[in-house]
Amino acid sequence: MNGLSKEAARQLAVGDDAAGQRIDNFLCRTLKGVPKSHVYRILRSGEVRLNGRRVGPDERLACGDRVRVPPIRTAAPAAPRQPPAGAVPPIVHEDDALLVVDKPAGLAVHGGSGVAHGLIETLRAARPTARFLELVHRLDRDTSGLLLVAKTRPALTALHAALREGRVDKRYLVLVRGRWRDAKRSVRLPLHKFATKAGERRVRVDDAAGREAVTVFRRVQTWPAHEPPLALLEAELLTGRTHQIRVHLTALGFPLAGDDKYGDFAWNRALAKQGLKRMFLHAARLSLVHPATGTPLVLEAALPPDLRRFLEALDGRDADA
């Protein structure tokens, strides 16, 4: 036995969850175990029909469309890998269109690169009857806080548009080293993504090749008498570039506590001995217009216990509110 089976031709109905999606992405998601190369082959050959006609891979679907899929050989599905018990993070908000979780640090948002499963796979495994669950945006593995998950295709499309157009207010809390004096400081430094020789993704400030990146920092609390001086800041993202907050802070000379890519590595080791064993970057607040109802939605996630304990351990006599 080669583990392959041949399906009969199928007629697939397009529901609300797939409305607006490209047909190639729809087929890749629907035809489990079928290589993408084969999906594109049957599209090019005309074997896939949308409402009885041939279409290209970039054709957009509408609710009520009918997609004919020819007989296809598929691999026998492997037994699903179940996430560990209790791995679903706290849910801050949920309705018919949207789910918002408070992601803990150390949890990847999706599987890959040596990670068996991430937050989105865990959610899907915990909700096997859910028709649609997709990440709206991402947080780094070591970043904690608010993460948006769409429960319908229209909600995902609307939220992506809101993010692109800057209509989602995202605020983070960060702890940095240095004497931060400004109550408010706007930073506009273009950022460029590149890969190291080892293939690791990195970002740097690059006036020539970088894309526009704007962060607004607001002072929350400072410890000027602490050695070294520290500051707790709120970072507002006006653009959403990879590692934007971290790279902007490093460029300003205020390294982010615990940052293992762009920070001060010797200082990070000292912080670990003091109890801060991860990056102090927390997605604390999101303000947006609900994608289905159009009503304002404001969501907040308190500092997790490890970050809160570290701040409480700082000498209160050295703190300036």
41 by DSSP, 3-state: which?
helix
Q: Is 3 left (phi over 0), alpha (psi -120 to 50) or beta?
A: left
The one-letter amino acid at 252: L
φ, ψ at 112 (rounded to 5°): 130, 160
CA–CA distance, 108 with 85 (Å, rounded to integer): 16
**Burial annotation 257-285 (CB, 10 A radius, 16+ → b, else e):** bbbebbbbeeebeebeeeebebbbbbbbb
The one-letter amino acid at 22: R
Look-up of token digits 């009969």: 8
| Nearest CA among 129, 121, 170 for reference residue 149 | 121
Residue of 17, 24, 140, 259 marked active site:
140
308 by DSSP, 3-state: which?
helix
Q: What is the DSSP letter of 47?
A: -
**H or E element at residue 160:** helix 153-164
**Burial annotation 93-102 (CB, 10 A radius, 16+ → b, else e):** beeebbbbbb
- Spell out the residues 6+ positions from residue 21 whose beta carbon is closer than 8 angstroms to its own: 60, 61, 153
Active site residue 140: yes
Beta bridge partner(s), residue 43? none
Look-up of token digits 């908000």: 93
Residue 252 near residue 113, CB atoms below 8 Å: no
Residue 20 near residue 157, CB atoms below 8 Å: yes
**Known catalytic residues?**
140
